[in-house]
Amino acid sequence: MVVDPLYVVGTIVCLVSTVLCVGAAIRKHGPNDLTILSAAAVELFLLVYAVAAIIRQSGGESLHGPAWEFWGYLLTAVVIPIGAVWWSLMDRSRWSNLVLGAVGVTVFVMLFRMEQIWDGVPLA
């Protein structure tokens, strides 16, 4: 299996975001610019990933799984950081950082599944 460079970048962005947000929650800090921007970085990555997926598919590269499932995962993943940032703006307690931290973990799992659908890797 060839690992897609976008997958690696996404993994790193999700990991950094999760560490920053959970770290802030452990230190009992409320959401701040750093934690909110880390979730925004995950969103920005997803938008770049979506554009790259459109370009790859229009260039003739096909999915090895159902297209509806891939695009469903991607659309859902794009909505998750928006909801978490909204939550953190409404609730300024330290617990909002855990919600922001869940963005990285959730998007990573969805990105992993999207990579399986794209490359046709069988589920174990």
- Give pTM, 2 decimals: 0.91
**Residue 87 included in any domain:** yes
Q: Tokens representing 27? A: 């230190």
**Residue 124 included in any domain:** no
Domain that holds residue 88: 5-119
**Interval 81-109 mean pLDDT:** 95
DSSP state letters, 27-87 = TTPPP-HHHHHHHHHHHHHHHHHHHHHHHHHHTT---SS-HHHHHHHHHHHHHHHHHHHHH
Report the distance separating Cα 56 and Cα 85, nearest Å: 30
Q: In total, how many domains does the chain have?
A: 1
**Interval 83-98 mean pLDDT:** 94
CATH number at residue 92: 1.20.120
Q: Is the pLDDT of residue 62 over 90?
A: no
**Residue 42 included in any domain:** yes
**Residue 72 included in any domain:** yes
**Residue 90 included in any domain:** yes
For tokens 């469903």, the residue is 72
Least confident of 5-14, 23-32, 114-123: 114-123
**pLDDT more than 90, % of the chain:** 84
Pick the closest to residue 48 from 12, 14, 9 (CA basis).
Answer: 9
Q: Is the pLDDT of residue 108 over 60?
A: yes
**Interval 69-93 mean pLDDT:** 95
